[in-house]
Structure 1
Amino acid sequence: MHSKVSIASAAIVLVVATSHSAQAALFNLDPGPYLPENGSFAAWYQDTHGRTLDLCLSRALSSRVPSVPGDVPSYMCSLLPAPGVYDDTQPLVFTSNFPDEAFWFTGDAAIVDAATGVDLLYVSALEAAFSGGLPVEGEQISFARIRIRVDLPTPGTYTITHPYGVEVFEVSADDIGDDGVRAINLTRDIGIGAPKTYDGALAGDIGPFLRSVNGPYNETNPDTGQVESFIGDPNLEEAVTGSPFATNYVRIEGPDGIDLRTDLFAVSGKLSSVALPTPVKVERATYSRSTAASGTVAQQDVFVQAPPPPGTASFVDTTSSTVAMTEANATGNWYGQSGNAPTPLANLSISADNSAAIASSTATTLAAPLVDLVTIHTAEYSLASGQLTLVASSSDETTPPTLNASASTGSPIGALSGAGALKTLTTGITPIPPARVTVTSSNGGSDTEELVILP
C-alpha cells in the first residue's frame, strides 16, 4: 500500500479520545557510523524475534505482481517517488535524488464495508524522514508510527484491536459531521528526537515486525544484481504473524452491532545480511519459598522475551540445573520454572538460540539475579491525619527479607516492620504526600504503586 499512497510525516491532531496498550519490542539498531548510501540513517533495526531489517531502498520488483505501465512499479520496498525530490528511474544519490520518506518496515490493512458505511485504513510503520520535510543532511529523523483513519456514519464508542494494541474512541456527532470522513483520525509517531538520533523509535509501538506467513520472498536487485530477501510483498494482501499479543488482525467494534475484521496486510521489509546475536530481554526472574507440612516449598520463575519457536530458550537455576522454557503462541514470550531451592541474589544463566530460524544468528547467554517478588497490598495517605500507611509482603516467607519504602521523588520513607513476610509501616508525611511509593526488598525485589489519597 505504501508504494501507491504517500504518507505525510506530520502528525495529525486527534479528534477523539484514545487509549492503547502496547509493548515495545524493538531490540537493537545500527550504532553507526551512518553512511550516505543510507541517507545517513541507521542502516538497520532488530526486533525481539531476531529479525533485522535494513532501510528499504532497493528497487527490486515483485515477481508475483506485475508492474502497471504508468503507475508506480511493483517495488518490494515502499519507495515513494516525489516529483522534484526523488526520481525512482534514476540512481539514488543523497541528497540530490533521495526519498523524503523511506521505511524499515510497513504493515498496512484496510476494511471497507458498504453495509455499515465503515471505511478503515490502518498503517503501522518504522519510518525514516526529515524534520524539514525534504532530504537535507542534518535533519534525519526516525519514528514508529501507528495510523488509524476511519470514515463512519454513526457516533458512539468504537474499539479497534490491531497487532500492536487496542484503541478506544468516543466518536461524537460533531466528529461525524456532514459526511463522516475521518471521524476517527489517529496518528501516533514515537521516537522523533534530535536529528540523527534513532534510538527513540525503540520505545514506539512497532515490534516485533509483522511478516507474511508465505515469506520470506527473494528478488533480485536490478542495481546490484544481488538476491535480496523480504518479509513480505507490499503489492499483496496476506495473512501475517508477529503480533506481540497474537492479534494478527485489525478489528473494529462499535454501535449497532458493528464487528468487522481483516486478517490481510500489505507488508514490506528487507531482511538484513548483518549477523547479530539472538535477542533476549529478561522480564522477570523471581523466587518464592514457604513452609508447609511436607517441608519447604520453593520455586524459581523466569519470564523472557526471545524469538519464538523454532528458537529455543532455557535457564540454569541457582542449583546448576538446566530448565527448558516454553512458548505458547508465537509471541516470543517464554516461561520456565524450577522447583529447586533458590539462592537469593545469585545469578541465573539465561540462554536463547534463534539459529534454526536465522542461520546467521548466534546463541546469547546472559546473567540475571534471582530476586524475591514484592507485593504492596495497601498504600494509603490520609489528608486528615497526614499519615501514610503501607502494607507489603515478600514471596520469601521462610526467611523474610527487610523491606524499605521510598517516595516517587527518591526520598526514603522508612522500614516496614513485622515478624513474618507481611510487613507494615505507618508514618507521618508533610506537607504533601508523594504520588507513588516503592517498597524494596533486601533480596532485590521491588513494587511501586500509586498512593491512594483518603479524606
Structure 2
Amino acid sequence: MLENPERLVSVGPANPKTGFPLWYKDAAGIRLDQALSADDLNTPAVGIDENFISTRPGAPPTLPDESFYWLAEARMVTGGGVRRGRARVVLALEATFGGTGAVVDGQQIVFARIRIRIDDGVPFGVYEVTHPFGQSGELTADDRGRVFVTEDIGVAPLRFDDALSGNVAPFLKWTSGAAKGPGEPDPPAGYLGDGALAHTITGSPFGTNFVRITGTNISEGNGPRDPADPGNPNKAFTNLFTVQGRLATVVGVGLDRAAYTRDAAGNVALDVFVDSEPGQTVTVSGAGVPDTALNGNGGSYYARVNTGTTVPPSVTVTNAGDVPPSTVTGTVTDAVDVSSASYDPLTQTLTVTAVSSDAVAAPVLTVSGDDLTDNPPGPIPGITAPPATVTVSSALGGSTSRAVTGVN
C-alpha cells in the first residue's frame, strides 16, 4: 500500500468572526481560506444553518454546517455488478462541527478526509484504488457489491493543528497552460478550480493525478478503461476531478499572550507575543498603549511597551498588510513565574515556588495538577504521588505550568 509522505505545513490564526482558522497552507506555499459564501460559485458553501447563534463581533448571520478549505472529487461509471455501478473518491479539507453536529460555537472542527465509495460492484469482490495521495490496499465489497471507506484525521473540536497530520497534501489544482487538456479552461483567477467542472489536475506527490480502480470486471460495459491497459476489463480509470479551493488574501494575526509586569514603584511594561505569517506589518494598540510596531522573526512577533503606571485591560493587534486590515483583541493578564516545583518522597511534600509579575497587587496564586486541588505556593504536605506537571494560576489571569522534579 502506497502512503503519502506529504503533509500540510501550517494553519492560520482563528477568524474572530467564525472561530475557524483563516487558512491552511501546503508545502508549496499555497494558502487557502474557508469557503463560506453561497454567492461564490467557485467555492459553493453547503448546508447553511439559519439557526447559528454567535456572540462573536461581526459574525455572519448564517454559517454552513459543512464547508471546505479544499475539495477534489473524482467520479466514474463502473461495471462488474448486475447493474451499472458508480465509484467516487473524495479528497477534502473540511470544516464542520463536533459534538452532536449542530452548528454550535466552540464545536468547530477541521479534518482531512479521504473517502472511497464503490456502488453495485461484485458482491464480496476485492478492489484496490490508486489515487493522487496513495493506494487503498485491498478493499472487500459487502454482499451488495458496495465499498465505503473513510479516513478522517482531525475531528476534535478546536484542535485545528490535528488536520495537518492528514494525507491530503499538497493541494491538487487544475492543470493550466500547456499542461491542460484539449478544450479545458484555466482555473479562475484566485482559485484552484471552479468547483464544478471535471478537469485534469496536477499536484500528486506520486505523479498519480488520477483514480485507477482494480477489480473483477470493474470497467465492464460502460466503465472507463485504463489508457495504459485498455484491453483489461479489470481496471477502471479517470483523470478528471472537480476541484474547489480559493487562495487566501487575508493572512490574519493571532495574539498568543499579552502580559504585563509592574514593579514596586508602579511602573508597568507590557509584553506582547503574536503569531502570523512571515513578513507582515503587525502593530499593537489599546487604552494607554501607544501604537507600537512588533518585531518579527519568521512567523513570531514581539513588542515590549511601557505604559507608565497604567495596566491596560486589553490590547488590539492589527495586521496592516491585510485588506482590510485584520485585528484581534485580547485580555491583558499578569505573568506567573514558577521558579521551581519539587517533590520530596521521604516527607511526601510538594514544594512550589512562584511569583506574579505584579509586585504591587500581589495577587493570590493557586497551584493545581492531576488529583491536586487548588493550593497556595510553598510546601504542600501529604502528597503520596505528585502530578507530573503543576499549573500556577493568578487571580489576575496569568498562569504557567512546570514539570515536577524529585529531590532526595
Q: TM-score, normalised by structure 2?
A: 0.50
Q: Which has the higher Rg, Structure 1 or Structure 2?
A: 2
Q: TM-score, normalised by structure 1?
A: 0.45
